[in-house]
Amino acid sequence: MTFSITWIALFIAAPTALIARIRWPGTALLILACCAALALGQLAPVSLVALALLVVAAYAVSPDRARTVRYAGHVLFIALAVALSMHWLPGFHNQRVIGPERITPDAVPFTMYLNLDKPLIGFWLLLAVPWLHTRHDWRTSLKVSLLSMLATTAACLAVAPLLGVVGWAPKRPDGSGLWLLNNLFLVSITEEALFRGYLQGGLTRLLARWRHANLIALCVSAMVFGLAHAPGGWQWIVLASIAGIGYGIAWRYGGLRASVLAHFGLNAAHFFLFTYPMLQSAVHR
């Protein structure tokens, strides 16, 4: 019951916020999920401070606010995004649903949580920043996402074995269905909204008068995405940067939906076909 009320609402709210032109359905589902989490003890009352600050930031970044207010709102959001992604804010009782366990004997132990804090970054961006929703029709988005997914997956999963971080390991682990739901709706959407929609899209707008604004924005967002994977080692910085370029191209030509699908496709190929999350032997390199 604890799982069904909170997480079904979130799993429905995420794609609703991504594809809907009207914000209220995604907002209503997010509020429902938060209320259920509070009632069931998955969120403590102190978490309301973070939620209130996100509301303040959303109010501040509205296009009709003064420029200084908008800038302050974005600074507040960035600070909250870092804290939420690092699980620094109190009151979020993230539910462990897998592990720690070795999916294959040569892999490092894997643990998966259904996070309540980090996904708030994605929801805030989807609901508060309208320019994330670029105008691309579904046919274009699907074509671009498929091409980007195939090219990015081929590049990353060709380089990764050369770096010694994964090996060929086809499998269907227990909990695969839950992993797919979590990775698509709460991981891929959140990360693509942040790194491609917000960072790459924001830099493109900010540098609009520059000759190579799109290329600069793509490279910067890919580099930052790579650095975000630094805890895994320099190999993951390289791999994530390569992936970031592919996702950035998907966002540039197919919008946020395309980059989300490309991201999810690569993650799924990694999970089902290669060592996940990485080889134990790579930890000490």
Task: Supply the pLDDT for residue 55.
Answer: 97
pLDDT per residue as tens digits for the range 205-255: 999 888 899 999 999 999 999 999 999 999 999 999 999 999 999 999 999
CA 151: distance to chain centroid?
Answer: 20
Radius of gyration of the chain (CA): 19
Structural domain boundaries in the chain: 2-282
pLDDT per residue as tens digits for the range 55-71: 999 999 998 999 999 99
Residue 16 one-letter amino acid: T
Task: Supply the pLDDT for residue 131.
Answer: 86
Residue 169 one-letter amino acid: A
pLDDT per residue as tens digits for the range 89-109: 999 999 999 989 999 999 999
- Mean pLDDT (the chain) is 94
Cβ 99 vs Cβ 111: under 8 Å = yes
Q: Which of 101-105, 151-155, 280-284 has the lowest mean pLDDT?
A: 280-284
Give, as one character, the DSSP assignment of residue 167: -
Note the helical H segments in 99-212.
119-128, 138-162, 176-182, 189-192, 201-206
Task: Supply the pLDDT for residue 106.
Answer: 94
Distance, in Å, from the CA atom of 156 to the CA atom of 147, rounded to the nearest integer, reads 14
Quote the pTM value: 0.95
